[in-house]
Structure 1
Amino acid sequence: MKLNEDLKPVLQEPAGLSDPSAALEVEKISQTSKEFNADPKNRLMQNAATTNDFTTLLLNRNVMISDTHIFNTKIPEESRVTNQKQSGRCWIFAGLNTMRVQLIKKYNLENDFELSQGFLFFYDKFEKSNWFLESIIDTRERDVNDRTVQYLLREPVNDGGQYAMLVNLIEKYGLVPKSLYPESFSSSSTNRLNALVISKLRDYAVRLRRMHAHGASVEELRQEKEHNLKDIYRILAITLGEPPSQPFTWSFHSKDKKYHEFTGLTPRSFYDEHVGYKIGETISLIHDPRNKRMALYTIQYLGNIAGGHPIRHINAEISDLEDLAIKKLQAGKPVWFGADVGKYMHRSSGILDPALFQYDLAFNIKFEMTKAERLIHAESLMTHAMVFTGVHLDSHGRPVRWRVENSWGEEGGDKGYVTMSAAWFREFVYQIVLEKDIAPQRFLDVLNQQVVVLPAYDPMGALA
């Protein structure tokens, strides 16, 4: 294979950018400066913003007062907030946070009990490595500059995930208490581990594509892949520690100081017998205003476990997501959800509200994109997973604000819990997960539709 043999020549430079009339004129910049300085408010804001975090200056006091951490509907038992630290494992933390609630209640555990996030993280990294290499084999005939191939190569594995990936991991590998597989340095701070694994996977991708170019069969490519994965396992085992593979004992004291011991457990039997949550009996509802409602969607090349459950999303109205999240909370169950957490958040107060920062007062600007337009123009996508544990309803039963269990530790908000306004939910929440026995039949019927496949690089394929 010759270097750059797949690169295509640029046929034509963009004509518009070479047009002198497209350039900024120095005279116009000078005039803009004069107009800026003519407004005393601009000079006042400049004095303040050049020596302070400008977002702090723009905080809307009325919003800070109205978005309180008081709710009239909450699940009966709330747990102590967890901390994913310097990692992108929010989807795992959020999923396990929903499952530990019943386990804490069942055995009268302290509210800081945790299931091992690192256990699932190990297998997710290993399975995603296999998924990536299989995707490279599957796209072996495509030009290396093909948009999908480049998307796959951009980030072969990362910490993020979607709920269906959690389903696949737990159904295949089970769960263990955190005491049996605690955090390591590299599970809590994942940058260096990710960089190492990603570099090796790209190295393997080059090798697999080169082998294909020289006539290797799919069977030979998979044999090479199996050899590559032994290297990845070695890296993970050294940096994270090997997960429990032999029968283990789970022992603990309950809140009433009684001693409990369960012997001969495996990760699968611990999940089946003690956690007991039927994670496979759930559905994902998304709100994607670009696409048809009450239709079934998936994303090409999105997943983590080859041969596992495929990604399936039911696209619904945002009011459906609101109503069903309320229904689940009223039944005493927490709700896993995915959203764009980077938008309009004040971390120390723990508030999410689109009216939080008054950009109009400081900069004389406003944002006019719709939710659909933000998705289309790369302004928003699902970046984080958290858990609803409560909601405040008005006299008509409509949501005013939501209580959110985050996984960034107890600093900020109400000991790490966050308040989300109803307006923020409608604009930046993209996904919730429900048990099938809570979902109305009309949503279950959508699961029988032909699935619509979105491209690999679609924003609905973002990993929280």
Structure 2
Amino acid sequence: MLNDKKDISFDDLSNFNTDLENTPAATPLARAVQENGVTKASHNYAAKRDLNRVFSLELDTGAVTAQKKSGRCWLFATLNTLRHKFAQKYNVKDFQFSQNYISFFDRLEKANHYLEEIIKFADRPADDRELLELLHWNDNDGGQWANAAALINKYGLIPQSEMPETFASDQTADLNTSLNLKLSKDAMTLREMRANGENEEQLRTYKKQALSDIYRMLVYAFGKPPVKFDFEYRDDKKNYHIDQNLTPKSFYAKYVAHDFDAYVCLLDAPDHEMHQKYGLPSQDYIYNGKHIEFLNIGTQALKDAVIASLQDGETVWFGCDVLQDMDRDKGYLAPEFFKQGELFNIDLELSKKERLASRNGEVSHAMTFTGVDLVDGKPTKWKVENSWGDKVGDKGYFIMTDEWFDKYVYEVIVNKKYISEEARKIDQQEKIDLPAWDSLQ
């Protein structure tokens, strides 16, 4: 009869119903949720008065970009920080680099890394944890800031006009399915080749053939990356400019020349030991490129560095858990506006540490800080440039309360000149490599 204690009994159901009937205003609350859904029924309109879009420090960044139905936020946020500098230096309002160009090589590099790892793990049993993580990862369009840095350093940049978006680059689901079917087939072939006694050289010969197929798939989907091009434009004063016979690398060196090595990723991950430097080698998929490194230093250090950057006129890449306490249409990122706990009369609060440890929280999206409202020297709200187009928020810009930053911002990318002496010391440490299944993956 031990299992009876594990079951939900009919007496339990009767007691649950009694508890419901004793809950104040249960019936009208149920009607509100049933008619409007949990999120709308939990809106706290009293909080709207603190969500005005006035900031004491606000950088002029122009129109937003649109990643559409793709997972390239990390790349868009990186290019946003670069294009703001470009637009200011060359007086070209709302200039954009080609996101599609970098996306092409991102997917090719991911395929190469995936197949290399399959070769590395070819002798592993089918239930090996690292192998299973790799098979699950395949080739998607997500990524990290360091991946964008490595791709740009290797392949350069081009204006968006030289390789504009396609239907497939804007909406990547179909391509993802095809690429991952191809890679899964290649993975099984490589494992069978190894089981049949073929050596590493033979496996790599097959890999190069597979990559040639994937290159063709990417050209069909994204277009062929230009080798040379002319950069032709009019600046904001209508002056005409042309620079001929550029390569992506020479364009990048001449017009951008960003020193990614001068930047670090500050992390707030309290489920990990603080004041440590971490790496994530499973996602370092560009060989000989910039590696993923995190300096785990806590919330206040992140805020201080972002404010210092903004005060110096520099926008800031950040990683967060965007779907938490968000109103997409209004462009709100504000726990104060959402009161699900009060609605259900249940404690739904998790600490940042608990969110990560339970996998309830994750770094799901990257955006750009472009402003902050400082009152008595302390931030109350932040201006955020998203990459979801101009039909959401305030022409694509979101407002984040400082409480949302505390709860859901995990990473910021800042120049080392804006970080504390404590962060500099952490940066000098040997990094601790995290496994592929870590909460920060």
| Range into which the TM-score falls when normalised by the shorter chain | over 0.9
2:384 maps to 404
Structure 1 residues 32-41 or 413-422, which shifts more? 32-41
1:199 maps to 181
Higher helix content, 1 or 2: 2
Contact map agreement 1:155 1:198 (CA 8 A) in 2: no
1:108 aligns with 2:88: no
Whole-angstrom CA distance in 1 between matches of 2:390 and 2:180:
32
**CA offsets per residue over residues 416-454 of structure 1, 9 Å max, x none?**
111111111111111001123333454334333222111
1:93 maps to 76
Which of 70, 77, 82 lines up with 2:65 in the alignment? 82
**CA offsets per residue over residues 372-394 of structure 1, 9 Å max, x none?**
11111110010000000011111
Structure 1 residues 172-181 or 283-292, which shifts more? 283-292
Deviation at 1:349, TM superposition (A): 1.4
Which of 25, 33, 41 lines up with 2:9 in the alignment? 25
Which of 154, 171, 175 lines up with 2:153 in the alignment? 171
Whole-angstrom CA distance in 1 between matches of 2:274 and 2:16:
46
Structure 1 residues 164-173 or 144-153, which shifts more? 144-153
1:238 maps to 220
Structure 1 residues 123-132 or 18-27, which shifts more? 18-27
Contact map agreement 1:64 1:351 (CA 8 A) in 2: no
Deviation at 1:286, TM superposition (A): 0.9
1:49 maps to 33
**CA offsets per residue over residues 231-290 of structure 1, 9 Å max, x none?**
111110111111111x21111111211111111111111111112322232111111112
2:101 maps to 119
1:252 aligns with 2:233: yes
Letter in 2 for 1:125: R
Paired-residue identity, %: 37
Whole-angstrom CA distance in 2 between matches of 1:279 and 1:181:
24
Report the 3-state secondary structure (helix = DSSP H, G, I; strand = E; otherwise coil) of the residue aligned with 1:388: strand
Contact map agreement 1:124 1:304 (CA 8 A) in 2: no
1:262 aligns with 2:246: no
1:450 maps to 430
Whole-angstrom CA distance in 2 between matches of 1:90 and 1:300:
21
Letter in 2 for 1:399: P
Contact map agreement 1:171 1:280 (CA 8 A) in 2: no
Whole-angstrom CA distance in 2 between matches of 1:381 and 1:433:
17
1:162 aligns with 2:144: yes
Contact map agreement 2:147 2:286 (CA 8 A) in 1: yes
Letter in 2 for 1:330: Q
1:437 aligns with 2:417: yes
Structure 1 residues 208-217 or 182-191, which shifts more? 208-217
Letter in 1 for 2:411: Q
Whole-angstrom CA distance in 1 between matches of 2:326 and 2:74:
19
Please give the TM-score of this superposition, normalised by the length of structure 2: 0.96
1:285 maps to 266
Deviation at 1:35, TM superposition (A): 3.2
Deviation at 1:26, TM superposition (A): 2.2
Long gaps (5+) in structure 1: 1-15
Please give the TM-score of this superposition, normalised by the length of structure 1: 0.92
1:367 maps to 348
**CA offsets per residue over residues 103-156 of structure 1, 9 Å max, x none?**
111221123x21111111000000000011111122223222122211111130
**CA offsets per residue over residues 270-324 of structure 1, 9 Å max, x none?**
1111123222321111111122222211124112212222211111121100100
Whole-angstrom CA distance in 1 between matches of 2:439 and 2:121:
21
Whole-angstrom CA distance in 2 between matches of 1:228 and 1:306:
18
Whole-angstrom CA distance in 1 between matches of 2:321 and 2:285:
22
Aligned-residue Cα RMSD (Å) equals 1.6
Moved over 6 A (4+): none
Which of 291, 294, 312 lines up with 1:331 in the alignment? 312
Letter in 1 for 2:379: P
Contact map agreement 1:116 1:179 (CA 8 A) in 2: yes
Structure 1 residues 155-164 or 296-305, which shifts more? 296-305
Contact map agreement 2:73 2:387 (CA 8 A) in 1: yes
Whole-angstrom CA distance in 2 between matches of 1:124 and 1:101:
22
1:69 maps to 53
The verdict on how the C-alpha distance between 1:39 and 1:437 changes in structure 2, with shifts beyond 3 A counting, is closer
Total equivalences in the alignment: 441
Which of 355, 377, 384 lines up with 2:358 in the alignment? 377
Contact map agreement 1:400 1:422 (CA 8 A) in 2: yes
Contact map agreement 2:281 2:292 (CA 8 A) in 1: no
